[in-house]
Amino acid sequence: MHHIDVHKLADEAEFNRFHAVVLLWCVLIIIIDGYDIAVAGVALPSIMKDMGVDASTAGFMAGSALFGMMFGAIFLGALADRIGRRWTISICVALFSVFTAAAGFTDDPVTFSIMRFIAGLGIGGVMPNIVAQMTEYSPKKIRGRMVTLMFSGYAVGGILAALVGKQFIEIYGWQSVFIAAGAPLLLIPFIMRSMPESLPFLIAHHDDSHLRQVVNRIRPGLRMEAHEEFLVPAEDKADGAPVGRLFRDGRGLSTVMFWIAFFMGLFMIYALSSWLTKLMAMSGYSLGSALTFFLVLQTGAMVGAISGGWLADKFHIKYVLMVMYVLGAVFLYLMTVKMSQEVLYVIVALVGATTTGTQILTYAYAGQFYPTAIRSTGIGFASGVGRTGAILAPVLIGILVSLELPLEQNFLVIAMAGLLGAIAVGFIDHRLCASAHQIDATVEDVPLQGAVAATAHT
């Protein structure tokens, strides 16, 4: 009986129509997710005026989705390893579409915040599942680029929210940009039909017909006989207690280091998104319209994400990531130096590239580090724990601003997070990385390798 290692097949596949379909779905879902995250910030001034709330209440209303994202990342990330990714992704899309739209029908801060919290569950939950999906099905030689290209959809979603808000809020009210977020519900039947399920999940559930369809789409030229058996490496088998497995086989320290790296990356991003405009105004700069500034930051983030992915495929992803965290700290510090407005825009773009871009590459690294069977759980817990950095950042920087410390100290606190992130990544044991381990396994497992080769040329 021939045995086929499905991960080796996926790793060595050439990019084809199947990969394009997976990438397209993942990018589309990330764009929608990015829109749903950004829409509250875009509409907040109009919501404050309409509901008559003060800044502190508005901050809580905007932050309620962040709490939802924290819980969603942890619990819905782990759920996928039990019920499959297609169902979990569809549940997440349903949650953030229905409840973001529902927020548009509210007229008081409490109900609005509850709707945003529930939407946040879906927004946070879809993230680890999409990263896991893209990591599993990307050919190994372009995996970093595929994951980071997919994540650049977040910036597109944010830009879309700003542009839609600019067009519609004045004419139709702030409610319109929330209600529009319900449209992706129509995509769920198509996701269920055309998004492939995780390979180890299909093997664990003995879904041979679906598995053969997916393998056929990954490698269209491969001829398979009825008696051939599909296998995954032992560490990729989808068995019970995925949370406990994050700390097994020597992964404990690296798991905690990923949590710290995620915390620091999200701390930088949300400290900037909440306070950068205010801090720059305190520096004496006039940044023009908020939309232009936002576009510069998001454009930098897209360039940083795609460039980081390209570098990670060419060089060692761990060291690329460490350098990006350090550069984030350096560029943040440079923002305290007096310069022309033109140069400032370049620095702001570089800050976007080395904060948001760095965080996106951290997702990609976590996706490559964990075996497939616990990949959604691993990314979900890192994202969920890291989300506390997103919640803490606006509060901590707000306290520092109120203390009226020298401006440089505010930026140094944010920059310090970049240095701590680099140190955390430095302590991750790359020898345990699932992708590196798969290479070793295929070299040692000569009979399996021969069987795959024999089947591939049948």
Q: What is the pTM of this model?
A: 0.75
Q: Tell me, what's the pLDDT at 411?
A: 80
Q: How many domains does the chain have?
A: 1
Structural domain including 28 reads 3-456
Q: Chain-wide mean pLDDT for the chain?
A: 79
Contact at 8 Å (CB) between 76 and 92? Answer: yes
Please determine, for residue 28, whether its predicted confidence score (pLDDT) is greater than 90: yes
**Between 436 and 75, the higher pLDDT residue:** 75
Model pLDDT for residues 199-245, shown as the tens digit of each residue: 778 887 777 778 888 888 888 877 766 666 666 555 545 455 567 77
CATH classification at residue 362: 1.20.1250.20
The yes-or-no verdict on residue 49 having pLDDT over 90 is: no
pLDDT digits (tens, 9 = 90+) for 399-455: 777 777 777 777 888 889 999 999 999 998 877 666 554 433 333 332 323 322 222
Higher local confidence (pLDDT), 267 or 38:
267
